[in-house]
Amino acid sequence: MSSRTNIASTLRAPTELVARGLAPASDLTALEKVASRYAVAITPDIAALIHPGDPNDPIARQFIPSADELVTEKNERDDPIGDHSHSPVAGIVHRYPDRVLFKLVHVCAVYCRFCFRREMVGPGKDNALSDRAYAEALDYIRAHTEIWEVILTGGDPLMLSDRRLRQIMKDLAAIDHVKIIRIHTRIPVADPDRITDGIVAALKVGNATTWVALHANHARELTEKARASIARLVDAGIPMVSQSVLLAGVNDDVATLEALMRAFVECRIKPYYLHHGDLAPGTAHLRTTLAQGQELMRRLRGRVSGLCQPDYVLDIPGGAGKSPVGPGYISPQESVADERELRPETRYRIVDYCGEVHLYPPV
């Protein structure tokens, strides 16, 4: 199936989900209310992964709308990570000194039920930057020589045509101080046929290094087709990292996280971020607690290779940026005198992966 056919066959209406057996008819009224506010799209590749008879299916939980999304908690917000407060011109988010987000489009192949930009993406929103806004964004990047990395996001930038992507990559690579162009995408798992030789060629440029960050949350998403699409990118010399979100009922147990991280590494993708769920409206049913996340990371540390360890991070609400929030393994114990050098030295308590405590330096 071609990518164009894949997109044309995408399920977008609750009535289609019910007809396919992916949602119960009794939920139709509530799901139509959800779909009137938040975008719905499930590609054939993702739909094929869902087990209709399993009410706890982790793929369905990511993509099938739920009546729980109609409940907004008081601490949830439309712009949970503060993109707007760090946007000097349309399409640009400049939160950190050496890098910017470049939001080119506001559409995706699939819409995640936990998306932190769910109020900004989907049908009815501005689908892409105007030519004028695009030019002004490029001017901003040119004028700020501290920008070393440009991160293409949205929406999903790989929804753009090969021709448009090729031009964007050339425009960015022509800016002397831009050395890294990173693309955030779900396309290799949501629509693997989209990763053609043409798109791979469009992503490779001479004066900057291209990286691709793949978003996936469960090992089942990394099908044979998905792995083949990933291999096309990596074999072409494009390094890849992963992004995942810790989600209740999807990957909030250590065995599932272990399988996911190992699957990434087997695909030559370095696990990068495991995000704590953002305070997007209607997503409380998918969020874990920080304590749960820390315990999962502590257990993961003892089970899998260092190659499989992501950073567990929280985007601080309001726009203060990401902070590591994983478990701590070190704490001061006491100051002891070093008789050889006659100066105090702090001794630390170090916790190993089994939970045992050790003193360093040893007694």
**Which residues are known to be catalytic?**
95-96, 99, 108, 112, 115, 117, 278, 315, 322
Q: How far, in whole angstroms, is CA 102 from its chain's centroid?
A: 15
Q: From CA 170, how far away is CA 202, in angstroms rounded?
A: 9
Q: From CA 59, how far away is CA 284, in angstroms rounded?
A: 18
> Residue holding tokens 């090969």?
162
Q: How far apart are the first and last CA of the chain?
A: 66
